[in-house]
């Protein structure tokens, strides 16, 4: 397929938010979905536990709202959470009509519980493969829409801004399987960024390699504001085994009764929260990090974030007898089996890993960013719906609800095509090979972010992080000045921009709240910080402001 010179709507990202939006947009115009690898490779695909949704009427919806607000540690933008829980049931019902099959028993949908949920409201598919099922069904449905074209293995290298409005994007093939290697300038009436999060900014992450924050960095560079970038959620239970990837061990295992134990075999969560293993995710992650450091109490040291080198913390299901663990969690069982571990027999070594960005491109409730013509939805966006800590299994729902809303806003706003958007004068083709030297600089940044801007932060560690980030950026810029373009270079620059925004926002928030914990400011400070941080373009200490929404 040749990439068209102009379309009505360009969607960056093919996870749940991007595909849900594309389906809506295709009812009224030509849509181009651009995705960095093959269709279906996204953070959505790897989501395990499920999708939270209140299907039992008004009181159920109210309870889901309260759980979402409480988990967010004072910073949830309530109107966004109301939209999420109220519109969620319809969006999920529609998804089922389009072919998504959630687990059932005797025709009745099965529901599980996860941390900080007051009841079991989480739907799941194929046990622990909910994201894969949602992705499969949306990809199949979107492929059936005549007005959606897909550019696979293609990167957005830049947004085209004409007269202060986003009017298209520059695209380049990101691998040998690229739909059309290009480069191309594509004009569009409006552009949606739904490219997901940036877990790869940290060396320890549950996210796939594609999660490099590309869309967030592009939006910032084009002049859109970011918000709440200091709030990176660390999932408490990623596999922590030397030589193994930080594979996600779903929170649903704790929902089914798993215990957390330290290296002395003690269940330790009672020292941290009355909800024990089902406490909010930020609380559990920090508790594990501290136990992993041997900190039986107290705050632990910033710069030590609970990696596989720390003392083992174990997830123990040996006492769980009421379900068949292998049937309930087939994907996790199979993965652990490759490392000689068995959920029924062995306590599983786990530790926190970067999982989900609560912050992102600042948007209103309809996906409008601060830059005309540019919209964002899903993990790449920040509506304030998660506040300082996302409630487990709210992210797939967020993608469905806000993906659909962003598409409706793009349709309603009815922006025209701008003539200045194409064709490009001198776009550089992407190098065929990735850049191994660029990769070395990126690894250095990822490690520095994990150590200095991970679960436990301090002004001194955040400043060390900034030194590493500046070094990485300077090294990558040297390649750019030499005229090079490669996938790793584009990804590295994006990661560096995102890291810089995280570090400055974390420095500016001189308190502890939700996923952001400062050892030098261990208390929540509502008087000064019951507000959202906003990163304007040109990141620096002075460009972070705090705003009440
Ligand atoms: C999990 O299965 O533990 C992840 C769910 C989520 O991130 O909400």
For residue 157, give the 3-state DSSP assignment.
strand
Q: What is the pLDDT of residue 308?
A: 42
Q: What is the pLDDT of residue 511?
A: 98
In ligand 1, the atom with minimum distance to the C-alpha of 393 is: 8
The full 3-state SS of 380-417, as one line of letters, equals HEECCCCCCCCCCCCHHHHHHHHHHHHHHHHHHHCCCC
Is 123 inside a domain boundary? no
* Strand-pair partners of 150: 33
- Let me know: does 409 contact 190? Beta carbons within 8 Å: no
Q: What is the pLDDT of residues 499-528, one digit of tens each?
A: 999 999 999 999 999 999 999 999 999 999
Domain that holds residue 505: 428-547
Is 169 inside a domain boundary? no
User: Is 415 a residue whose pLDDT tops 90?
Assistant: yes
In ligand 1, the atom with minimum distance to the C-alpha of 52 is: 8
Q: What is the pLDDT of residues 11-64, one digit of tens each?
A: 999 999 999 999 999 999 999 999 999 998 888 999 998 999 998 889 999 999
pLDDT band for position 304 (50/70/90)?
A: low
* Helices within 425-517 (DSSP H only): 436-452, 459-481, 487-508
CATH classification at residue 329: 3.90.700.10
Q: Which of 281, 286, 390, 487 is catalytic?
A: 281
**What is d(CA 501, CA 357) in angstroms, rounded to the nearest whole number?**
12
Test site for ligand 1: of 16, 44, 49, 396, most ligand atoms within 8 A of the Cβ: 49
**What is d(CA 164, CA 371) in angstroms, rounded to the nearest whole number?**
8
CA neighbor of 518 nearest in space, from 537, 505, 499: 505
Is 339 inside a domain boundary? yes
Q: What is the pLDDT of residue 299?
A: 43
Q: What is the pLDDT of residue 125?
A: 96
Most confident range, picked from 116-120, 400-404, 420-424, 481-485 = 400-404
Is 396 inside a domain boundary? no
Q: What is the pLDDT of residues 363-413, one digit of tens each?
A: 999 999 999 999 999 999 999 999 999 999 999 999 999 999 999 999 999
Q: What is the DSSP letter of 72?
A: T
Is 195 inside a domain boundary? no
Tell me how many domains the chain contains. 2
Q: What is the pLDDT of residues 425-460, one digit of tens each?
A: 567 777 766 677 889 999 999 999 999 999 999 999
Please tell me whether residues 351 and 459 are part of one structural domain: no
Please tell me whether residues 246 and 344 are part of one structural domain: yes
Q: What is the pLDDT of residue 55?
A: 87
User: Is 296 a residue whose pLDDT tops 50?
Assistant: no
Is 250 inside a domain boundary? yes
pLDDT band for position 297 (50/70/90)?
A: very low
Confirm whether 281 is a catalytic residue.
yes
Q: What is the pLDDT of residue 179?
A: 84
**Which of 324, 355, 386 is the last residue in one of the domains?**
355
- Let me know: does 209 contact 28? Beta carbons within 8 Å: no
Q: What percent of the chain has pLDDT over 70?
A: 94
User: Is 290 a residue whose pLDDT tops 80?
Assistant: yes
Q: What is the pLDDT of residue 481?
A: 84
Sign for the CA dihedral angle at 468, 472, 473, 477 comes to: positive
**Which of 315, 331, 355 is the last residue in one of the domains?**
355
Among 422-426, 473-477, 505-509, 544-548, the range scoring the smallest mean pLDDT is 422-426
pLDDT band for position 423 (50/70/90)?
A: low
CA neighbor of 153 nearest in space, from 137, 167, 171: 171
Is 493 inside a domain boundary? yes
- CA of 490 from ligand 1 middle (Å) equals 28
- CA of 386 from ligand 1 middle (Å) equals 14
For residue 438, give the 3-state DSSP assignment.
helix
CA neighbor of 123 nearest in space, from 91, 157, 153, 152: 91
- CA of 50 from ligand 1 middle (Å) equals 7
Q: What is the pLDDT of residue 307?
A: 47
Please tell me whether residues 246 and 346 are part of one structural domain: yes
In ligand 1, the atom with minimum distance to the C-alpha of 394 is: 8
Test site for ligand 1: of 72, 114, 281, most ligand atoms within 8 A of the Cβ: 114
Please tell me whether residues 332 and 435 are part of one structural domain: no
Q: What is the pLDDT of residue 424?
A: 61
The mean pLDDT value of the chain amounts to 93
Please tell me whether residues 541 and 444 are part of one structural domain: yes
Is 209 inside a domain boundary? no
Q: What is the pLDDT of residue 2?
A: 87
**Which of 309, 333, 355 is the last residue in one of the domains?**
355
- CA of 190 from ligand 1 middle (Å) equals 32
Biggest CA–CA distance in the chain, Å, is 68
Sign for the CA dihedral angle at 452, 447, 40, 407 comes to: positive
């Amino acid at each position: 397929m040749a990439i068209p010179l102009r379309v009505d709507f360009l969607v960056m990202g093919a996870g749940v938010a991007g595909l849900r939006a594309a389906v809506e947009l295709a009812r009224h115009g030509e849509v181009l979905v651009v995705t960095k690898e093959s269709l279906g490779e996204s953070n959505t695909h790897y989501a395990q536990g499920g999708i939270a949704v209140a299907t039992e009427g008004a009181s159920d919806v109210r309870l889901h709202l309260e759980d979402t607000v409480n988990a967010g540690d004072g910073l949830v933008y309530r109107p966004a959470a109301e939209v999420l829980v109220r519109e969620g049931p319809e969006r999920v019902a529609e998804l089922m009509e389009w072919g998504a099959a959630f687990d059932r028993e005797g025709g009745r949908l099965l529901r599980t519980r996860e941390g900080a949920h007051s009841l079991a409201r989480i739907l799941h598919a194929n046990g622990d493969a909910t994201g894969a099922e949602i992705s499969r069904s949306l990809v199949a449905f979107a492929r059936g829409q005549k007005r959606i074209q897909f550019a696979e293995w293609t990167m957005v290298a830049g947004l085209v801004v004409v007269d202060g409005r986003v009017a298209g994007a520059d695209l380049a093939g990101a691998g040998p399987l690229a739909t059309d290697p290009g480069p191309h300038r594509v004009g569009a009436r409006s552009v949606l960024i739904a490219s997901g999060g940036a877990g790869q900014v940290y060396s320890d992450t549950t996210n796939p390699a594609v999660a490099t924050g590309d869309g967030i960095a592009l939006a910032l560079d084009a002049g859109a504001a970011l918000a709440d970038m200091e709030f990176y959620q660390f999932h408490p239970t990623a596999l922590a085994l030397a030589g193994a990837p930080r594979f996600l061990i779903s929170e649903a295992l704790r929902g089914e009764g798993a215990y957390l134990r330290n290296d002395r075999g003690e269940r330790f969560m009672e020292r941290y929260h009355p909800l024990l293993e089902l406490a909010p995710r930020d609380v559990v992650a920090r508790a594990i990090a501290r136990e992993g450091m041997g900190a039986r109490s107290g705050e632990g040291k910033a710069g030590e974030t609970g990696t596989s080198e720390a003392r083992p913390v174990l997830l123990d299901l040996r006492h769980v007898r009421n379900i068949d663990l292998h049937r309930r969690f087939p994907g996790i069982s199979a993965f652990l089996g490759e490392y000689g571990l068995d959920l029924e027999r062995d306590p599983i070594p786990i530790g926190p890993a970067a999982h989900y960005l609560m912050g992102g491109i600042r948007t209103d409730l309809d996906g409008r960013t601060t830059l005309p013509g540019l919209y964002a939805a899903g993990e790449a966006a920040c509506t304030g719906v998660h506040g300082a800590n996302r409630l487990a299994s709210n992210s797939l729902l967020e993608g469905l609800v806000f993906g659909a809303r962003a598409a409706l806003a793009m349709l309603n706003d009815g922006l025209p095509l701008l003539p200045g958007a194409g064709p490009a004068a001198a776009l550089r083709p992407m190098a065929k090979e990735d850049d191994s030297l660029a990769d070395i600089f990126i690894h250095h940044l990822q490690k520095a972010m994990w150590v200095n801007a991970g679960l436990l932060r301090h002004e001194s560690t955040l400043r060390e992080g900034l030194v590493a980030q500046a070094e990485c950026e300077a090294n990558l810029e040297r390649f750019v000045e030499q005229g090079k373009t490669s996938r790793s270079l584009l990804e590295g620059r994006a990661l560096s921009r995102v890291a810089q925004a995280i570090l400055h926002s974390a420095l500016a928030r001189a308190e502890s709240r939700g996923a952001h914990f400062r050892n030098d400011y261990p208390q929540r400070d509502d008087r000064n910080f019951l507000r959202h941080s906003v990163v304007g373009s040109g990141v620096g200490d002075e460009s972070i402001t705090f705003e009440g929404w």
